[in-house]
A and B are shown apart, each in its own frame.
Chain A
């Protein structure tokens, strides 16, 4: 069949990929020198791509906004149309593709093998626009990408979909690294909280609205305060953590990722400066991977689940989507977890973690931590502390109820009916203390309680013997009064009720 001027279909090779990405004035040479393009080729190969379909004339809403705000007013003529590359794991040619388009063949097969798309912009240094790609497989359940959402794609009338989180390369004319990382984060917060998901230009403007340390365009970077401004502008609150040796970094990141919230990590790159990336997933192993989550963490907490994490996956606007970061354990009392094999020279040193949260999620990981100390103390009366592991994460009330519905540990448990019938705030902190892999006790915390309030809503034991041991101890004369004086009456009341 004669070549179409609307699309091309080619087998997946490096030459074909780079050719498809080179939208004039961008040349194949520009692409072949581009680190993200090289990473993209390796990534697509790893997820099993075999065929590239290119929409030769594509209007991309995000690029159009960039164009209207910046490039349209440039003297040099810069095109306003893009290409869109679609990737499939199955092999087919142009004639077969046209059969799918016109309905001679069902496009279900295309959906089964769809691995996402990349918008190629006519920008030599920032070619990869909106990039929505399937993730790596889970590898026996160790890889988790809870920040993905469903993207609906219309390809010449065929409805396709892919689970991903959008990525794009930094275009320094309009957006700093933090802007692009926020743009990715807002894609998912829109899905969870129905908040706004502005374009990079709008994010840069919002960040500079109240605090303009320099001209916004070309963008030369954002301060932490400006990042917070940009988050407030979409109707969310910035939950900010300074990374110190007392912060259980991996467990904290995990606790927000579990709900699907991307975590913005501000890192220091040796000899280069500050950089922002969006943490989008993690790899959880069966055994401990980090000897220390932070130098001082083990003087505060028993083991937390984050110590079993060996990798994070990050959207790095200069390195690529779902980029692997291996975790280095903290090495001493004053040290913190760092990231290696990131594609940057040297290890990345995290300085801040910022999570855009729904304003009614007022209780953060830092407030929850306090109650881990109290409950660890109680459990330590009756069980071997060395076997403890806390699993702490933010969840929705709906997801919580779905999970306990099918939880074998709660079968015939008196709490099951109560938990299923009770009303809850929309979001909860779920804290499960496991002993040798089995749940020992669990508490639920209300996220809407103010910092000075008492957030624990429910507390229950999974095992009768330790529960009975704690009950007997509290019943001893003098013990309850001592506990009330130390931990407060509400905590002790709840503890007593859990032991009945």
Chain B
């Protein structure tokens, strides 16, 4: 399971302050995951020179 979804408590089970704190942490983790997603998506231009010939 992605770490941004992996928390001990559901937000709906927490009081207002705890929910807000956990939400902030969750958002931080999601934004990290989005960065990871974007980084891995970049294609090295040299890859476009790869030949298929079999």
Contact = CB atoms under 8 A, between A and B. Distances in A.
B12 A224 contact: no
Contact of B50 (A224, A373, A385, A386): A224
Contacts of A301: 2
B20 A266 contact: no
A269 B10 CA distance: 47
A298 B11 CA distance: 22
Contacts of A224: 47-50, 52
Interface stretch (A96-104, A150-158, A431-439, A469-477): A469-477
Interface of B is mostly: helix
Given A299-B36, A381-B11, A473-B11, A479 B50 contact: no
Contacts of A266: 50, 52
B37 to A, nearest CB: 6
13 contacts: A222-B52, A224-B50, A224-B52, A225-B48, A273-B53, A298-B1, A302-B5, A373-B4, A377-B5, A377-B27, A472-B12, A479-B19, A482-B24
Given A224-B48, A473-B12, A479-B20, A273 B54 contact: yes
A275 B52 contact: yes
B30 A486 contact: yes
Contacts of B43: 240, 242
Contact of B1 (A176, A221, A242, A302): A302
A274 to B, nearest CB: 4
B27 A487 contact: yes
Interface in B1-54: 1-6, 10-12, 16, 19-20, 23-24, 26-28, 30-31, 33-34, 36-37, 40-41, 43-44, 47-54
Interface residues of A, number: 58
Nearest to B40: A246
Nearest to B21: A482
Contact of A373 (B10, B37, B40): B37
A377 B26 contact: yes
B2 A376 contact: yes
B52 A478 contact: no
A4 to B, nearest CB: 42
Nearest to B31: A486
A300 B36 contact: yes
Contacts of A225: 48-49
Q: Which of B4, B26, B51, B52 has the most CB of A within 10 A?
A: B52
A391 interface: no
A352 B47 contact: yes
A279 to B, nearest CB: 14
Given A242-B47, A299-B2, A478 B20 contact: yes
A273 B53 CA distance: 7
A370 interface: yes
Given A479-B20, A487-B27, A177 B37 contact: no
Contacts of B11: 381-382, 473
A274 B12 CA distance: 52
Given A224-B48, A274-B54, A377 B4 contact: yes
Given A223-B51, A224-B52, A473-B19, 17 more contacts: A177-B52, A220-B53, A221-B52, A222-B53, A223-B48, A247-B40, A273-B54, A275-B54, A276-B52, A299-B33, A373-B37, A377-B30, A473-B12, A478-B16, A478-B20, A479-B20, A482-B23
A123 interface: no
A244 interface: yes
Given A472-B12, A478-B20, A479-B20, A274 B30 contact: no
A228 interface: yes
B16 A272 contact: no
A314 to B, nearest CB: 14
A253 interface: no
Interface of B: 1-6, 10-12, 16, 19-20, 23-24, 26-28, 30-31, 33-34, 36-37, 40-41, 43-44, 47-54
By Cβ-Cβ distance, the 6 closest A-B pairs, closest first, are A221-B53, A486-B27, A246-B40, A274-B52, A275-B54, A381-B11
B5 A376 contact: yes
A490 interface: no
A43 B3 CA distance: 46
B51 A274 contact: yes
Contact of A476 (B16, B33, B49): B16
A266 B33 CA distance: 28
A161 interface: no
A469 B14 CA distance: 12
A380 interface: yes
Contacts of B26: 377
Contacts of B30: 373-374, 377, 486-487
A115 interface: no
B54 A177 contact: yes
Q: Which of A242, A244, A370 has the most CB of B within 10 A?
A: A242
Nearest to B39: A246
Interface in A253-286: 266, 269, 272-276
